[in-house]
Amino acid sequence: DMSNAQVMKDEQGRPFIVVRDQGKKKRIAGTEAVKQHIVAARTVANIVKTSLGPRGLDKILISPDGDITITNDGATILGQMEISNHIAKLLVELSKSQDDEIGDGTTGVVVLAASLLEQAADLIDKGIHPIRIADGYDQACEVAVAHLDEISDEIPFTRENTTNLLKVAKTSLGSKIVSKAHDQFAQIAVDAVMSVADLERKDVDFELIKVDGKSGGALEDSLLVKGVIIDKDFSHPQMPDEVRDAKIAILTCAFEPPKPKTKHKLDITSVEEFKRLQQYERQKFEEMIQQIKDTGANLAICGPEIELIAIATNGRIVPRFEDLSPEKLGKAGVVREMSFGTTREKMLVIEECANTRAVTVFVRGSNKMIIDEAKRSLHDALCVVRNLVRDNRVVYGGGAAEIACSLAIEDAAANNAGLEQYAMRAFADALDAVPMALAENSGLSPIEALAAVKSRQNNEKNSKLGIDCMQTGSNDMKEHFVIDPLIGKKQQLLLATQLCRLILKISQVIVPGEEGS
């Protein structure tokens, strides 16, 4: 029953979900409970559905203290919504898992999961037990995942020739706020990943890529530094603004004259005593400086971001001055102050680091909202490129892969004599939700667009055909370089199927301390 769950708005216009509590009177259980969970899931999915794809709409989110976020990233939208329904929360988690593992496809996975659940509701009405549905879904998912392997293509690239990676990154940025600077952001994403990538081991350590931002300037002023940028300047104007061949003491302790600890009462009754204290502090400070100099260091850094500095310069973080020693110093070819744009603000850049692979992307933009969304978009692009380094097999987007899997599952279902056949068909139908949402968001008629592409895929045995969201006149997604990494698409299917089983098995939600819900 649709009227159970509603999207309401609070006084600031922030959406939240109310699922009317039927359980006040009687405790609901069994399939009735499962169906209510499905309603809650659908409500959440409907919110993110409109942001799917290159023509998806951005959302404005306003936090309780008035912070504004503009985004079309599913994980972000869901993460910032105040959701009290337990099942709805599971969808938020789902989107987060996809984000953690793959970093992309966070909206798609929610749309798919909700669609699977919706199909399940119909099967429950037909009298099929939720567990049998979950079993059929598992079988269908297996067919789909195997089919993805079959239809996957390889995207060739080398360290020298990254043209293909650039194209993929550009597609990923196409629907985002940064689209006007997407050539530049794509290049930044590819360069960043390639500078830290270990192509032999097919490994990209994201720890080595730092994305920083500061408001001021335009998106086009964003840049990649093969090193580390730190929001500090040299602490004294008389210091040089560049240190070559830097040997860096990396300290967690503050580098300042010792302060008397206030918990010990300090009685100063005369000028002499005060002078003695001053003398003592000065002497201690000089000792500290000497300790640093003795190790051979020509630069000391303390405060935040020291972990990154330590990784980049192959140094060790030292908690106390006494622990300093030459082999613990970080090393960098050059540490210099860099000024940005029109403002006089300065930052420290550490380049030619001992561990040269660490890089920093520095995002500029006119305000924090733009920068935050640019950072999220860049993160997506970084993820897509990273995923291709890990495994360069891809399937085609625009719903092409979903349609291909849907057809494969239909075939397999026909050969299943058991009840699972129904669940498999339902799974095949559920996959249609993705191309349909893409079509709808692009102003196309969802059913017509889907029917046209599906029949062509079937007749032409061509799994590259998808929804032509950008109205280019061609449905060939390979032509437009609209791809999804194979591992990302598999992950979406597996996570969504897993979540369905979980929800289909929950026949009751018992909240400690809450009265009979």
Which C-beta is closer to ligand ADP: that of 248 or that of 450? 450
Catalytic residue among 69, 73, 212, 360: 73
Q: How far is the CB of 401 from ligand ADP (least distance, A)?
A: 8
21 is catalytic: no
Which C-beta is closer to ligand ADP: that of 71 or that of 85? 71
Q: What is each CA distance from 35 to 32, 215, 374, in whole angstroms?
A: 5, 47, 39
Residue whose Cβ sits closest to ligand ADP: 397
Catalytic residue among 76, 107, 171, 497: 107
Which C-beta is closer to ligand ADP: that of 51 or that of 222? 51
Residues in contact with ligand ADP by the rule CB under 6 A:
51-54, 56, 72-74, 104-108, 171, 174-175, 397-398, 438, 466-467, 469-470, 480, 482, 484
The rounded distance, in Å, linking the Cα atoms of 203 and 193 is 10
203 is catalytic: no
Three-state SS at 470 = coil
The rounded distance, in Å, linking the Cα atoms of 402 and 226 is 39
Q: What is each CA distance from 77 to 45, 94, 178, 492, in whole angstroms?
A: 11, 13, 18, 18
Assigned token pair, 15? 């959406």
Q: How far is the CB of 103 from ligand ADP (least distance, A)?
A: 9
73 is catalytic: yes
Residue of 83, 128, 136 lying closest to 110 (CA atoms): 83
Q: What are phi and psi of 193, to 5 degrees?
A: -65, -45
Q: How far is the CB of 14 from ligand ADP (least distance, A)?
A: 21
Q: How far is the CB of 109 from ligand ADP (least distance, A)?
A: 7
The rounded distance, in Å, linking the Cα atoms of 234 and 238 is 9
Mapped to the 3 state alphabet, what secondary structure does 392-456 carry?
CEEEECCCHHHHHHHHHHHHHHHCCCCCHHHHHHHHHHHHCHHHHHHHHHCCCCHHHHHHHHHHH
Three-state SS at 15 = strand
Q: How far is the CB of 136 from ligand ADP (least distance, A)?
A: 25
Q: How far is the CB of 470 from ligand ADP (least distance, A)?
A: 5
DSSP conformation letters of 339-384: E-SSS--EEEEEEEESSTT-EEEEEEESSHHHHHHHHHHHHHHHHH
β-pairing, 330-339 vs 359-365, is: unpaired
Q: Are 400 and 464 in contact (CB under 8 A)?
A: yes
Q: How far is the CB of 480 from ligand ADP (least distance, A)?
A: 5
Catalytic residue among 380, 432, 468, 484: 380
Per-residue exposure over 420-436, b if at least 16 CB sit within 10 Å of its own CB, e if not: bbbbbbbbbbbbbbbbb
Q: How far is the CB of 242 from ligand ADP (least distance, A)?
A: 42
267 is catalytic: no
Which C-beta is closer to ligand ADP: that of 139 or that of 152? 152
- DSSP code, position 58: P
Residue of 239, 229, 250 lying closest to 348 (CA atoms): 229
Catalytic residue among 43, 69, 76, 106: 106
Which C-beta is closer to ligand ADP: that of 74 or that of 227? 74
Q: Are 381 and 189 in contact (CB under 8 A)?
A: yes
Which C-beta is closer to ligand ADP: that of 308 or that of 383? 383
Beta bridge partners of 389: none
Which C-beta is closer to ligand ADP: that of 59 or that of 214? 59
Which C-beta is closer to ligand ADP: that of 249 or that of 395? 395
Please list the active-site residues: 73, 106-107, 380
